[in-house]
């Protein structure tokens, strides 16, 4: 099988690619990958990015991880796949514009399917199924700026553990129903925990979000003993369930009054939409006490356009402390903000 080379020597870094299909002119469709072997072979951590071709921050995170980590201080193996959806990446698009399929909805893929389904098949069977665990790096869509957070996707027949998401060290963890074909769902069903980690927005490279992604990956590796040192984990982490889109009922220019990561009270102003022709203003307010997990960064909106993405505190809870781990505990700014605003979160 045309698979990645994982059997390398301790301290070695190896870069190559696998072929998973070909285009109409015979050009091979390949998936490039990196492997770093530490002082021992296991565990095997899979880092992947660009399942959606325009999501760029994760590509840089993987590149920098391989530049920063000294393999002789690593306990285990890192497999990095910086650009899984190479065709969508070349097209500067979320999906391959020819077959139009969302790669993160067709796992575990089809050996004889469309190009996207074949990429999913080869990535899933040759990379995912060889991993102990993994981090699937994403961003919001274009114009959809997301605060750094892991997303846990559950199904009626599948409920992933919280531990891997908590190990990234973010204050807020997103918990929502998953969709068949998602990488995290399908890998989880195989007993391979893959954490979706959202950092920023598509189409942009942003140092703040790249650094947040780096910090999350390093925390994860320290938590699971792949690197020495204490992971930085907030003293209180908040699990929030079910997100809600806040839409504009008017067209015009959107002026946000909150940032991604803000804690807002019910009826607090989220933003204003103003008509460039009449000057008329439409005020958008929070429907409940909530956390702003994402905010629109592109100002031109139509009626029905989402301008913010919220998660209500009434559907969340503060998670119990992590025990039996040596951690560097940090204060939770989000919990502090909720207390300042008189918002209670159940524990």
Contact 248, 303 (CB under 8 A): yes
Per-residue pLDDT, averaged over 162-188, amounts to: 96
Task: Please tell me the total number of residues recorded for the chain in this structure.
Answer: 347
Encode pLDDT of 115-135 as tens digits: 999 999 999 999 999 999 999
Query: In which element (H, E) is residue 33 found?
Result: strand 28-37
Q: Domain limits of the chain?
A: 13-233, 243-315
pLDDT tens, position by position, 58-93: 999 999 999 999 999 999 999 999 999 999 999 999
CA angle 81, 87, 92 (to 5 degrees): 100
Q: Is 89 helix (H, G, I), strand (E, B) or coil?
A: helix
The answer on pLDDT for 325 being more than 90 is no
In the prediction, which pLDDT does 184 show?
97
Largest CA distance in the chain: 68
Architecture field, domain 13-233: 3-Layer(aba) Sandwich (3.40)
305-318 pLDDT tens trace = 999 999 999 989 99
Numbers of helices and strands, H then E, in the chain: 7, 20
Task: Choose the weakest-confidence range: 164-168, 279-283, 323-327, 340-344.
Answer: 323-327
Query: What are residue 328's DSSP bridge partners?
Result: 232
What does pTM read for this prediction? Answer: 0.96
Mean of the per-residue pLDDT values of the chain: 96
pLDDT number for residue 155: 86
For residue 303, pLDDT beyond 80: yes
3-state helix, strand, coil in the chain (%, to 5): 20, 35, 45
2 pLDDT more than 80:
no
Q: What is the pLDDT of residue 54?
A: 98
CA distances (Å), 75 to each of 124, 135, 222, 224, 225, in order?
Answer: 24, 17, 10, 10, 7
Instruction: Quote the CA–CA distance of 97 and 291 in Å, as a whole number.
Output: 34
How does DSSP assign 208-231, residue by residue? HHHHHHHHHHHHHHHHTTSSSS--
At 289-301, the pLDDT tens digits run: 999 999 999 999 9
pLDDT at 324 over 90: no
The answer to whether the beta carbons of residues 203 and 142 sit under 8 Å apart is yes
Count Cβ atoms below 10 Å from residue 272 Cβ, excluding itself.
18
The pLDDT, as a whole number, for residue 14 is 97
CATH number corresponding to 243-315: 2.40.50.100
Q: What is the pLDDT of residue 55?
A: 98
Q: What is the rounded distance in angstroms from the CA atom of residue 31 to the CA atom of residue 19?
A: 6
- Decide the pairing of beta strands 232-234 and 328-330: parallel
For CA atoms 261, 262, 267, 271, the dihedral sign is negative
| CA 277, chain centre distance (Å) | 39
Cβ neighbours of 7 (radius 10 Å): 10
pLDDT(1) > 90: no
Confidence grade of residue 159 (pLDDT, cut at 50, 70, 90): confident
């Amino acid at each position: 099988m045309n698979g990645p080379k994982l059997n390398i020597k301790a301290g070695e870094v190896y870069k190559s690619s696998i072929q998973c299909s070909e285009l109409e002119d015979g050009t091979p469709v390949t998936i490039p990958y990196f492997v770093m072997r530490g002082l021992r072979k296991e565990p095997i951590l899979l880092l992947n990015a660009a399942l959606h071709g325009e999501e760029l921050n994760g590509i840089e995170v993987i590149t920098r991880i391989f530049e920063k980590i000294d393999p002789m201080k690593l306990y285990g193996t890192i497999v990095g796949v910086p650009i899984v959806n190479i065709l969508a990446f070349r097209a500067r698009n979320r999906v391959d514009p020819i077959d139009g399929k969302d790669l993160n909805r067709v796992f575990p893929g089809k050996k004889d399917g469309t190009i996207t389904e074949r990429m999913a098949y080869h990535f899933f069977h040759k990379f995912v199924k060889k991993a102990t665990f993994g981090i699937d790096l994403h961003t919001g869509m274009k114009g959809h700026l997301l605060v750094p957070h892991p997303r846990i996707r559950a199904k009626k027949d599948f409920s992933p553990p919280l531990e891997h998401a908590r190990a990234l060290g973010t204050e807020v963890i997103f918990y929502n129903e998953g969709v068949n074909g998602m990488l995290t769902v399908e890998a989880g069903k195989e007993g391979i925990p893959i954490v979706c980690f959202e950092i920023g927005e598509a189409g942009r490279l942003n140092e703040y979000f790249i650094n947040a992604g780096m910090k999350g990956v390093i925390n994860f590796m320290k938590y699971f003993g792949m690197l020495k040192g204490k992971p930085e984990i907030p003293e209180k982490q908040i699990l929030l369930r079910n997100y809600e889109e806040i839409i504009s009922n008017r067209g015009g220019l959107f002026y946000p009054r909150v940032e991604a990561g803000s804690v807002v009270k019910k009826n607090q102003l989220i933003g204003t939409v103003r008509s460039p022709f009449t000057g008329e203003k439409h005020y958008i307010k929070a429907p409940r006490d909530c956390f702003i997990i994402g905010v629109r960064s592109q100002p031109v909106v139509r009626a029905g356009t989402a301008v913010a993405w919220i998660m209500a505190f009434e559907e969340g809870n503060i998670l119990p402390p992590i025990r039996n781990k040596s951690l560097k505990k940090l204060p939770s700014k989000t919990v502090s903000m909720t207390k300042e605003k008189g918002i209670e979160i159940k524990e």
